[in-house]
Amino acid sequence: MNSFTFYNPTQLVFGKDSIEKLPQMISQFTEGKKILVTYGGGSIKKSGLHTKIMNLLADYEVYEFGGIEPNPRLSTVKKAVAIVKEKEIDFILAVGGGSVIDGTKLISAASKLDNDPWDIVTRKVTPTAVVPFGTILTISATGSEMNSGSVITNWETNEKLGWGSPLVFPKFSLLNPEILYTLPENQTVNGIVDSMSHLIEQYFNEADNSAIGDAMIAGVMKQIMSAGRTALSQPDNYEARETLMLGATVALNGFMRMGYNGDWATHNLEHAVSAVHDIAHGAGLAILFPAWMKYVSQHQPARFAQFAEDVFDVDQNLSESEKVEAGIKGLEDYWQSIGAPSRLSDFEITAEDFETFADKTLFNGPFGNFYQLDKEAVMEIYKLAE
């Protein structure tokens, strides 16, 4: 393994009573009274969560910023930054999924600078201070509630880029699995696919030894798959939602990548697609991961055979190539069984765009820590996903 330091300061508050702890959690981080509540397109109003939060914040001076879109946009972040500066907000509360939380991370950092927020995303400037923020998570998928990463779309340039800073770990995240009951079925599916994809990215890593990570990843992945089936047939099954929610958080809070980075090529391949077509991140991953696996397994079959054994318990007596095939098929079959898309053509995305996607992915040169992809490889993978 590589040498590493594990650091994660986010206080994770989990369970049916977690949201009621909001006032006491905020008071740990500010004595100020001005709170900005950020949220998405309105699901929190339909579910009653908005009213509940406003009641809990009765002693605060509350401002609201709704309308952060899925695949959060730079233009939206800029509007919120203006409010934080004008009202001299003391604390931000993000209520939503990865999009609201990622947008809020950039709002939090950009509000302390005079630069365009995009300068942070493109690493022209490094944040040195932030407006503190916490989250109430409403969809389990990205792990953004307990990590320091954020992905922002610049719709003017069709760029979707990730950035991060240790300063943008949420101060706390409140997770009540009951909140997931109102998720539309396709969003539950996207969340299952995204959290599994984070585990797969880290399973295919650059370390010589990742025995502890392998065991954790395979174990968590099996539990997500099983709980995913249950949650889709019984949306208000508490235990299944509990497993999905904690599973998605630990999948990307640093636990699973101690001693290595993981591959992360497929996330790059996906972000290039959703930068142009605005499809859900989980949907893009469901299409691209099997394609990446089919391509890379031709070059590095041993790890794929081990994946099949660890995650899909394939017969030990199969040949290496049979194991590789069974592992990839196991993943494809599971995703198709829960209704995830499997082809770019499902979204009417055609080969015409592949060159554009490929150029975006290669912005910083060849990529992928487990297996490095060049332009030819990238084009081949998009073709496999056509």
- Residue 63, beta-bridge partner list: 36
> Which of the listed partners (Zn ion, ligand NZQ, none) does 340 bind, with a CB threshold of 5 to 8 Å by partner kind?
none
Q: Does 159 help bind Zn ion (rule: CB under 5 A)? A: no
Q: Which is nearer to Zn ion, 283 or 305 (CB)?
A: 283
- The C-alpha atoms of residue 249 and residue 27 are separated, in whole angstroms, by 24
Spatial contact of 54 and 62, defined as CB atoms under 8 Å apart:
yes
Q: Which is nearer to ligand NZQ, 280 or 308 (CB)?
A: 280
Q: How many residues bind ligand NZQ (CB under 6 A)?
A: 36
- Candidate list 38, 77, 98, 165; residue touching ligand NZQ; CB under 6 A: 98
Q: Which residue has the tokens 């307990």?
A: 146
Q: Shortest Cβ distance from residue 143 to ligand NZQ (Å)?
A: 5
Q: Which is nearer to ligand NZQ, 38 or 210 (CB)?
A: 38
Q: Shortest Cβ distance from residue 223 to ligand NZQ (Å)?
A: 19
> Which of the listed partners (ligand NZQ, Zn ion, none) does 242 bind, with a CB threshold of 5 to 8 Å by partner kind?
none
Q: Does 263 help bind ligand NZQ (rule: CB under 6 A)? A: no
Q: Which is nearer to Zn ion, 108 or 197 (CB)?
A: 197
Q: Which is nearer to Zn ion, 49 or 224 (CB)?
A: 224
Spatial contact of 160 and 71, defined as CB atoms under 8 Å apart:
yes
As a three-state string, the secondary structure of the chain is CCCCCCCCCCEEEECCCCHHHHHHHHHCCCCCCEEEEEECCCHHHHCCHHHHHHHHCCCCEEEEECCCCCCCEHHHHHHHHHHHHHHCCCEEEEEECHHHHHHHHHHHHHCCCCCCHHHHHCCCCCCCCCCCEEEEECCCCCCHHHCCEEEEEECCCCEEEEEECHHHCCCEEEECHHHHHHCCHHHHHHHHHHHHHHHHHHHCCCCCCCHHHHHHHHHHHHHHHHHHHHHHHCCCCHHHHHHHHHHHHHHCCCHHHCCCCCCCHHHHHHHHHHHHHCCCHHHHHHHHHHHHHHHHCCCCHHHHHHHHHHHHCCCCCCCHHHHHHHHHHHHHHHHHHCCCCCCHHHHCCCHHHHHHHHHHHCCCCCECCCCCECHHHHHHHHHHCC
User: For ligand NZQ, which residue has the nearest CB?
Assistant: 40
Considering only the stretches 35-43, 119-127, 220-228, 317-325, report the one whose residues sit in contact with ligand NZQ under the rule CB under 6 A.
Answer: 35-43
- Candidate list 50, 171, 257, 267; residue touching ligand NZQ; CB under 6 A: 267
Spatial contact of 287 and 343, defined as CB atoms under 8 Å apart:
yes
- Candidate list 252, 283, 311, 344; residue touching ligand NZQ; CB under 6 A: 252
> Which of the listed partners (Zn ion, ligand NZQ, none) does 139 bind, with a CB threshold of 5 to 8 Å by partner kind?
ligand NZQ
Contacts (CB under 6 A) with ligand NZQ, residues 298-337? none
Q: Does 263 help bind Zn ion (rule: CB under 5 A)? A: no
Q: Which is nearer to ligand NZQ, 140 or 210 (CB)?
A: 140
> Which of the listed partners (Zn ion, ligand NZQ, none) does 99 bind, with a CB threshold of 5 to 8 Å by partner kind?
ligand NZQ
Q: Does 102 help bind Zn ion (rule: CB under 5 A)? A: no
Neighbours of 124 (CB within 10 A): 10
Q: Shortest Cβ distance from residue 100 to ligand NZQ (Å)?
A: 6
Q: Shortest Cβ distance from residue 74 to ligand NZQ (Å)?
A: 12
User: For Zn ion, which residue has the nearest CB?
Assistant: 194
Q: Does 149 help bind ligand NZQ (rule: CB under 6 A)? A: yes
Contacts (CB under 5 A) with Zn ion, residues 177-206? 194
Q: Shortest Cβ distance from residue 319 to ligand NZQ (Å)?
A: 34
Q: Does 42 help bind ligand NZQ (rule: CB under 6 A)? A: yes
Orientation angle between helical segments 265-277 and 375-384, nearest 10 degrees: 70
Contact residues toward ligand NZQ (CB under 6 A) are: 40-44, 47, 70-71, 96-100, 102, 138-139, 141-144, 147, 149-151, 179-180, 182-183, 187, 190-191, 194, 252, 267, 281-282
